Structure 1
């Protein structure tokens, strides 16, 4: 494959990834409006944002198992059909379930697309995988920037249906660019690595992680009992184990586990950042969506020009640096007011830029025998973790924070606002909780509304402080990996022939 063909295919992959983030960005900007129009709780809003992530993981993993058989072009066509179908359902949504299903189908399309583009790019640029994966994943924040600016420019009075419809623009662009494109033979196949050897890189432990995540979330969707879920996990993992008979690569398993806090710190926070920082942005007389656009712009630039940074720090050193700065940025963001919000967002945006694509790059460089599977399972675990746990956790933390803050106010002032307004019982993966009765809240006297709104504002800040702990966990983990590689003579890319 000549250089011109490589660059042409890379551009098509880049715009396809931009299209996937358009949907994420617009849903993040519209989730608060949907909450008001359809009387959604914070946790239901979190579930809608979450379902934009975990079906992605299901499709990216399943297509990784068969993509070398069905072809990369066909996979892209399936992703395109999912995107168009999702848009139609969302435009005609009349409540929680249609919003949920529209987001679900869009996520399936996203996973199909990324199952294709990640292995395609690492195959085209085998000697600079982390650099080009960072460049490719600049397409994600680039789509957020373009989509966000377009939606904001339409104004707050514009109906949300018109805003969500602009997703059609990048869909049609990548659909056109992908026409008649030829994909390279994936490096695993070119090197003659067997299908079973690819599965062995994942191993029994890796399969246990991703199968458990898929079964628990799909089981939640179909209301399966815990016993049935456990039986399914044992069955699927057992079959995989009988076929592969190896536990998997230890370092790869560690990287999969690190994806839990990493994905929540990045995508989980992105899912809620507009809602979390809405009050501070309005105090600056700015549309809240600008905070997400701003951090996405920083990510786009940082990722696209990541080459010199990767060369200087090496992938393992870059992850240590990014984790430390991300922890500081999130904590700073939880306390920032006024113009300091943008300074904190700058730190946070820069730090989180390199985490996700560098993790994928390391997997591609260290475990090339895993082909599309190990690359995409890494992404799948991250998306699944934030979809099942991360986004819902941030929503749950806010609901609980509001409940606790109002209870504290009642005790201090001998009032009964908690019993009066925090009266709707809901269920989530974190258990039963009491949430705000929105209909009653909207009819509350002005002074009681102000008290509750202040409690909601403080709960949002507290949620950001909570998530700031996650990059600290990542930092400790990456320091351990750095010492491991140092003991082995330094970080080196593994070659297969």
Structure 2
């Protein structure tokens, strides 16, 4: 029994590791994509958003499909589609080269579509995985569901650690060891996918709540509860804050750290440790109180990260504070869904995950990118108008109610890779060799590099900080929502764990949050 449960736990854990690797490497691809494809901040943000959009759609509908068709078929489908998304990455450069010859005006837009749909397909697989593994782990470990859900979701930061270190070592011009083609780095998640497939596809999986109860309609009963609808809104905000910031962390910190992906690796390491070893602690405290406190800490942490910190050491201190705030939010919300709405099985958990991921994909990723680009352009235009005219695109764009002339992506990438010491340009090769910068613009950029480069980098840094500061309002709203839930539960006698037979227990008195029947082989 323990061996079978352990194999399913490991395989489920690896699905999140694969997702984390793909996520971390994709967030580090902004520089290569700017350099090779002339992709701007808004386009990069949209691709990051696509990496969550499919997740949000599929984790909800996947929850329904899980209850209808069971775990096994969806896992097999996700296995195949995940590998297809990796193949699409290798097609991007050959297609782009062909488009530059046949349709140069639309080459960037076309390759953007390839990268967008690859990320979207990747996120569909993530949604299928989570639609399966959350209720599966809750079902095979009914004796301590909260603890094992936290262990399960340590797989996500574990994947980001692996992917982040791989990105630091091999992606971009500042790679520690050697820069390899980004396609190989971004598709490295496929190795873990194959391992997970070998582990889980031959296994027999238990029946879902819907299959075992014989009443498919009962799994939707959670939507008749007003507190559950509030939880959906709050989980959307959690997705915006946690995954939206993680998606942009590497880009927002690129002028603060020698290799900015390290901040993502560090915060992921903290999340891994906290989630993996603190499950029993989470289980013994009021989960709504924990969510309220975590929201306040996360808000303060983002404000600190968005402040004008100069010391690298203080950046990591602020990141530590922020990580303490966000570590338990996602898995604890899933625990609340399982404890309060056990009859809804995977649908309740899927609805929360869908809200979080849809918010990231449709709002957080694109909006944070727009905020960063707008604040950077405004800062550069005010501080160095002549530099702005050399670096900004000619045509304005409009996004999220903001209209501005964005800094050209290829020129920004070149500026970030040009060092200036004591007012003199050390090496302008990054500008001269940039294929996507028009040749007629290069002489002015090279001759003014000593004054332009510091101004561009400062504006880029300012834009990143402002984006973090603006995002801090999100956990502030979360704290208000969780405070309202605290007051509500106190008014009805306290937070209780609901069991499948309709009874209830105090949270501190139970290690069985879901109490689902476990097949004898598990």
TM range (shorter): 0.7 to 0.9
- What is the TM-score of this pair, normalised by structure 2? 0.81
Question: Offset at 1:383?
Answer: 0.3
Give the alignment of 1:348-387 within 5 angstroms. 348-387=322-361
* Corresponding residue of 1:234: none
CA separation of 1:427/1:87 partners in 2, compared to 1, >3 Å: closer, same or farther?
farther
Identify the match of residue 483 of structure 2 among 458, 479, 485: 479
The count of aligned residue pairs is 442
SS at match of 1:158: coil
- Which consecutive aligned stretches of 4+ in structure 1 deviate over 6 angstroms post-superposition? none
* 8 Å CA contact retained: 2:66, 2:208: no
Q: Which moved more, 1:156-165 or 1:321-330?
A: 156-165
2:383 aligned with 1:409, yes or no?
Answer: yes
Give, in angstroms, the shift of residue 26 of structure 1.
0.8
1:277 corresponds to 2:281: no
Post-superposition shift, 1:439?
Answer: 5.0
What value does the CA root-mean-square deviation take over the aligned residues?
A: 1.9
- 1:125 and 2:141 correspond: yes
SS in 1 for 2:306: helix
Q: Residue by residue, what CA displacement relative to the aligned partner does 1:82-136 show, whole Å, maximum 9, x if unpaired? A: 1100001012213312111111111111111111111111212334332221111
Q: Equivalences for 1:20-31 in 2 at 5 Å?
A: 20-31=19-30
1:71 Cα deviation (Å)? 2.6
Corresponding residue number in structure 2 for 1:43:
42
Relative to 1, partners in 2 of residues 1:28 and 1:440: Cα closer, same or farther, differing over 3 Å? closer
Compute the displacement of 1:187 (Å): 3.4
Per the alignment, residue 458 of structure 1 pairs with 462
- Residue matched to 2:397: 426
Assess if the C-alpha contact under 8 Å between 1:399 and 1:434 holds in 2. Answer: no
User: Counterpart of 1:88?
Assistant: 87
Paired residues of 1:424 and 1:436 also in contact (CA < 8 A): no
Matches within 5 A, 1:308-323: 308-323=280-295
Task: In structure 1, list runs of 5 or more residues that go unmatched.
Answer: 203-247
Shift of 1:189: 4.1
Aligned partners of 2:403 and 2:178: how far apart in 1?
34
Aligned counterparts of 2:73 and 2:365: Cα–Cα separation in 1: 31
Larger deviation, residues 78-87 vs 476-485: 476-485
Q: Partners in 2 of 1:141 and 1:439 — Cα distance?
A: 31
Contact 1:51 1:103 in 2 (8 A): yes
Which of these residues, 182, 192, 199, is aligned with residue 160 of structure 1?
182
Output aligned runs, 1:209-358, within 5 Å. Answer: 248-282=224-258, 287-335=259-307, 336-337=309-310, 338-358=312-332
Give TM-score scaled by structure 1 length: 0.85
Contact 1:129 1:365 in 2 (8 A): no
Instruction: Describe the SS at the equivalent of 2:85.
Output: helix
* Residue of structure 1 in register with 2:100 after alignment: none
1:493 counterpart SS class: strand
Distance 1:429 1:70, change over 3 A: farther
In 2: Cα distance, 1:164 partner to 1:437 partner? 24
Deviations along 1:201-224, whole A, 9 cap, x unmatched?
Answer: 22xxxxxxxxxxxxxxxxxxxxxx
DSSP-derived class of the 2:405 partner: strand
Residue 135 of structure 1: aligned partner: 151
Deviation at 1:263, TM superposition (A): 1.0
**CA distance in 2: counterparts of 1:388 and 1:107, whole angstroms:** 13
Aligned to 1:206: none
Q: Which has the larger radius of gyration?
A: 2
Which residue in the other structure is 2:220 paired with?
A: 199
Q: What 5-or-longer segments of structure 2 have no aligned partner? A: 97-110, 171-176, 413-430, 432-441, 502-522
- 2:51 match: secondary structure: coil
